[in-house]
């Protein structure tokens, strides 16, 4: 007797549900995406107990006729994809026809829908059709999912605390609102309003709803295109960073995409503007011909494949680096009665703010006004030709901070950080265009290495030779340097060579000239600038400020720490209570 049998549909839906709906936030995602695909411009999400007890989604989209509504619960029933060819031109968020049957197999699901004529109400429980009836005719769909995972106990147990589940849903709705600023979203849990957007198609307003005005004021608008991709969005000032990548949001043809390479190139574009361990706030909308991407590579449709990835990465990198290079980023010291900054590191509810701190209405009016101003000017006012203002040094505090003044107030320059920046840019330049000036060494330097590392360096000898190091082999495991380029910091030659060799070994087969030059430059500039507690003369201060002014980015050291901060006249007067 044969052992193989085709499983029944209820069981197979339950198995598919394991992939499609992992937790309450994935149910919310599937249902809201259906509402978006149905062209809704208002979507309300109401939860009871973070959605574990109940999820109710109300939309004003196309709705369904009775026949379609019944079909929608069958596996592979979809109105979004009819043939092979469609799979390569998908412009809707859904396309597999799996979400509704999966959700209905692990909950009690009630679908009420109407195209504007007679309405239909259908109830499913544990994958079985319980009832069908006529209902009211309001155009749109209301779908209610109760007792999620009641029949899959392992999955129920896997859910974390109600707070964690809720934070995931808030994050999801935040990101959907960023993707569709033209849709009015609202989110409630146990009748408490947690988020809403106004559907006015103003992306910056949504940013403000999520992150608050302090962040919104420090967002920069970027826009650009190449042959295949159109990009528009907002990027934060380098001083506005978060401890996770969560606030880097990339949206491709309306789909929120979690792509490691995109996140990386966005983060790398801030290189030396911010600290390595911090991440910027970014919302990028990418528009592309659907045939250039493959949306069918991830079980929960969260990642996609790009056929012209390098072109996309170049475009993103150029747009961000260009924008950052145009703007002045001197950090202003601002005194505040209420310390807002400390909220940022709390466990998230919103992508950002905690629920209780929602803006009260009177403040909202002021915010709306300021946001409008910001949107209209797109922050371009910041752009200046001279990056640093005229600064007049007064003295040095504890051999560390140069104190300067001008008509706008008081400035402190971190002497060491500033030197690091100056040296870093100098080395990047020297390494990028190596000249032929070399210094012969009286006593060659022998560098002994473990054999595996020796092999790597030997293999990559040309990197050193291109930089004008003269190398001779010296016995086994030893590399001998006979001459070096003149720009090597004198007194630290051996140390510098070892550092350069370490970088070659570390990069090994992932060698990339630009990255290599940058790492060497950071390493050498750090080494050269280490003298702390050094009291320098006013002339030396003036020279340092002049050199800093010539830098592409005079505002942060290569590790992303600030080089200069500003106390405005007004702030000083506030501190001394001369003004209120
Ligand atoms: N809110 C809604 N408004 C109108 N039609 C809907 C709504 N939700 C679902 N539908 C219809 O039901 C069909 C099935 O939905 P389901 O989510 O199961 O599949 P899908 O969206 O086509 O694909 P995927 O499984 O990738 O989400 C959809 O193709 C759509 O025609
Ligand atoms: Mg769907």
Residues with CB under 6 A from ligand 1: 30, 34-35, 38, 59, 61-64, 72, 77-80, 94-100, 141
DSSP string, 497-526: HHHHHHHHHHHGGG--HHHHHHHHHHHHHH
Which residue's alpha carbon is nearest to atom 21 within ligand 1?
94
Among 34, 41, 44, 127, the mutation site with the greatest number of ligand 1 atoms within 8 A of its Cβ is 34
pLDDT above 90 (res 55): yes
Cα(92) to ligand 1 centroid in Å equals 10
Q: Which ligand is nearest to the CA of 103?
A: 1
Q: What is the pLDDT of residue 569?
A: 93
Q: Which spans in 433-560 are helix H?
A: 451-459, 461-466, 493-507, 513-528, 538-549
Which residue's alpha carbon is nearest to atom 4 within ligand 1?
63
pLDDT above 60 (res 349): no
| Neighbour-count burial of 377, counting CB atoms closer than 10 A to its CB (0-12 exposed, 13-18 middle, 19+ buried) | exposed
Which residue's alpha carbon is nearest to atom 17 within ligand 1?
99
Which residue's alpha carbon is nearest to atom 10 within ligand 1?
34
Tokens representing 27 are: 């149910």
Cα(15) to ligand 2 centroid in Å equals 17
Q: What is the pLDDT of residue 532?
A: 61
Tokens representing 293 are: 């991407």
Range with lowest mean pLDDT among 66-70, 421-425, 472-476, 494-498: 472-476
Q: How far apart are CA 453 and CA 257, in angstroms?
A: 39
Nearest to 247 by CA among 354, 341, 175, 163: 175
Collect all residues with Cβ–Cβ distance below 8 Å to 506 and sequence separation of at least 6.
none
The phi and psi torsions of 494 (rounded to 5 degrees) equal -65, -45
The model's pTM is: 0.80
Q: What is the pLDDT of residue 351?
A: 58
Cα(145) to ligand 2 centroid in Å equals 15
The phi and psi torsions of 570 (rounded to 5 degrees) equal -65, -45
Tokens representing 331 are: 């950090």
Strands 42-48 and 184-189: parallel
The phi and psi torsions of 549 (rounded to 5 degrees) equal -60, -30
Q: What is the pLDDT of residue 365?
A: 43
- Torsion angle of C-alpha atoms 21, 26, 29, 35, degrees rounded to 10: 30
pLDDT above 80 (res 408): yes
The phi and psi torsions of 288 (rounded to 5 degrees) equal -150, 150
Nearest to 43 by CA among 181, 143, 207, 184: 184
Tens of pLDDT, residue by residue over 211-246, are: 999 899 999 999 999 999 999 999 999 999 999 899
Cα(100) to ligand 1 centroid in Å equals 7
Cα(97) to ligand 1 centroid in Å equals 6
Among 19, 31, 36, 37, the mutation site with the greatest number of ligand 1 atoms within 8 A of its Cβ is 37
Instruction: Give every strand in the sheet of 409-414, ordered side by side.
Output: 331-332, 564-568, 409-414, 401-406, 392-397
pLDDT above 80 (res 90): yes
pLDDT above 50 (res 343): no
Q: Which ligand is nearest to the CA of 21?
A: 1
From the CA of 62, give the closest atom in ligand 1: 4
Placement of tokens 């500033």 in the chain = 418
Cα(151) to ligand 2 centroid in Å equals 22
Which residue's alpha carbon is nearest to atom 12 within ligand 1?
72
Cα(75) to ligand 1 centroid in Å equals 11
Tens of pLDDT, residue by residue over 409-455, are: 999 999 999 999 999 999 998 888 877 788 888 888 888 888 888 88
pLDDT averaged over the chain?
87
**Residues in the chain, total:** 580
What are the Cα distances from residue 489, in Å, to 35, 304, 415, 485, 520? 63, 47, 19, 10, 12
Among 81, 100, 110, the mutation site with the greatest number of ligand 1 atoms within 8 A of its Cβ is 100
CB atoms within 10 A of CB 546: 12
11 compared with 280, residue with greater pLDDT:
280
Q: How far apart are CA 576 and CA 580, in angstroms?
A: 10
Cα(189) to ligand 1 centroid in Å equals 24
Q: Which ligand is nearest to the CA of 20?
A: 1
Give me the percent of the chain exceeding a pLDDT of 90.
57
pLDDT average, residue stretch 11-36? 88
Cα(22) to ligand 2 centroid in Å equals 15
- Contact by Cβ (8 Å): 222, 319: yes
Tens of pLDDT, residue by residue over 535-557, are: 889 999 999 999 999 999 999 99
Which residue's alpha carbon is nearest to atom 19 within ligand 1?
97
Collect all residues with Cβ–Cβ distance below 8 Å to 562 and sequence separation of at least 6.
239, 331, 414, 417, 555, 556
Q: What is the pLDDT of residue 337?
A: 57
CB atoms within 10 A of CB 464: 20
Placement of tokens 């209902």 in the chain = 135
Q: What is the pLDDT of residue 35?
A: 98
Cα(137) to ligand 2 centroid in Å equals 23
Which residues, in sequence order, are bridge partners of residue 135? 119
Q: What is the pLDDT of residue 364?
A: 46
Q: How far apart are CA 484 and CA 444, in angstroms?
A: 10
Tens of pLDDT, residue by residue over 354-396, are: 444 433 344 444 444 455 545 444 444 444 467 899 999 999 9
Q: What is the pLDDT of residue 18?
A: 73
Q: How far apart are CA 191 and CA 211, in angstroms?
A: 23
Q: How confident is the model at residue 336 (pLDDT cuts 50, 70, 90)?
A: low
From the CA of 101, give the closest atom in ligand 1: 18
Q: What is the pLDDT of residue 442?
A: 85
Which residue's alpha carbon is nearest to atom 29 within ligand 1?
78
pLDDT above 90 (res 476): no
Q: Which ligand is nearest to the CA of 19?
A: 1
Tokens representing 533 are: 């507690």
Cα(158) to ligand 1 centroid in Å equals 27
How far is CA 379 from its chain centroid? Answer: 20
Cα(281) to ligand 2 centroid in Å equals 29
DSSP state of 436: S
Q: Which spans in 232-308 are helix H?
A: 260-268
Q: How close are the terminal C-alpha atoms of the chain, in Å?
A: 91
Among 39, 69, 72, 144, the mutation site with the greatest number of ligand 1 atoms within 8 A of its Cβ is 72
From the CA of 94, give the closest atom in ligand 1: 26
């Amino acid at each position: 007797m044969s052992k193989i049998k085709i499983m029944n549909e209820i069981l197979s839906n339950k198995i598919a549900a394991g992939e499609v709906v992992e937790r309450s936030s994935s149910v919310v995602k599937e249902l809201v995406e259906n509402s978006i695909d149905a062209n809704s411009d208002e979507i309300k999400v109401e939860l009871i107990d973070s959605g574990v007890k109940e999820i109710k989604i109300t939309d004003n989209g196309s709705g369904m006729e009775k026949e379609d509504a019944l079909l929608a619960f069958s596996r592979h029933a979809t109105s979004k994809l009819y043939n092979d060819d469609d799979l390569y031109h998908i412009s809707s968020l859904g396309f597999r026809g799996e979400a509704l049957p999966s959700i209905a197999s692990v909950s009690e699901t009630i679908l009420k829908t109407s195209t504007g004529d007679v309405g239909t109400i259908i109830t499913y429980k544990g994958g079985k059709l319980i009832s069908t009836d006529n209902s009211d005719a309001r155009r749109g769909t209301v779908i209610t999912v109760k007792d999620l995972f009641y029949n899959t106990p392992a999955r129920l147990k896997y859910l974390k605390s109600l707070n964690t589940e809720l934070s995931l849903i808030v994050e999801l709705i935040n990101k959907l609102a960023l993707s569709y600023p033209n849709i009015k979203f609202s989110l409630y849990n146990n009748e408490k309003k947690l988020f809403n957007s106004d559907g006015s198609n103003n992306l910056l307003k949504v940013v403000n709803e999520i992150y608050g005005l302090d962040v919104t004021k420090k967002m920069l608008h970027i826009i650009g295109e190449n042959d295949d991709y159109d990009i528009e969005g907002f990027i934060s000032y380098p001083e506005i960073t978060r401890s996770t990548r969560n606030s880097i949001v990339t949206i491709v043809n309306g789909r929120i995409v979690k792509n490691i390479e995109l996140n990386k190139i966005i983060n790398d574009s801030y290189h030396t503007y911010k600290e390595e361990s911090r991440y910027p706030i970014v919302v990028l909308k990418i528009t592309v011909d659907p045939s250039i991407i493959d949306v069918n590579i991830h079980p929960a449709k969260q990642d996609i494949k790009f056929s012209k990835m390098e072109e996309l990465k170049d475009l993103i990198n150029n747009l961000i680096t260009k924008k950052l290079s145009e703007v002045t980023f001197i950090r202003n010291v601002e005194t505040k009665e209420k310390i807002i900054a400390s909220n940022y590191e709390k466990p998230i509810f919103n992508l950002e703010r905690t629920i209780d701190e929602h803006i009260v209405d009177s403040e909202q009016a002021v915010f709306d006004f300021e946001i409008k101003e910001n949107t209209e000017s797109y922050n371009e006012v910041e752009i200046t030709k001279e990056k640093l203002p005229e600064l007049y040094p007064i003295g040095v505090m504890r051999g560390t901070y140069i104190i300067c003044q001008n008509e706008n107030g008081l400035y402190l320059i971190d002497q060491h950080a500033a030197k690091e920046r100056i040296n870093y840019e100098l080395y990047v330049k020297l390494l990028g265009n190596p000249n032929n000036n070399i210094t012969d060494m009286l006593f060659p330097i022998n560098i002994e290495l473990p054999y595996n590392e020796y092999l790597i360096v030997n293999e990559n000898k040309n990197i050193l030779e291109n930089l004008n190091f003269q190398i001779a082999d010296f016995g086994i495991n030893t590399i001998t340097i006979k001459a070096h380029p003149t720009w090597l910091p004198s007194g630290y030659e051996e140390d510098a060579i070892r550092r350069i060799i370490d970088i070659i070994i570390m990069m090994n087969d992932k060698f990339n000239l630009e990255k290599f030059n940058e790492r060497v430059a950071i390493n050498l500039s750090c080494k050269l600038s280490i003298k702390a507690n050094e009291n320098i003369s006013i002339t030396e201060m003036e020279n340092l400020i002049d050199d800093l002014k010539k830098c592409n980015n005079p505002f942060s050291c290569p590790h992303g720490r600030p080089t200069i901060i500003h106390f405005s006249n007004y702030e000083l007067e506030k501190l001394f209570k001369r003004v209120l």
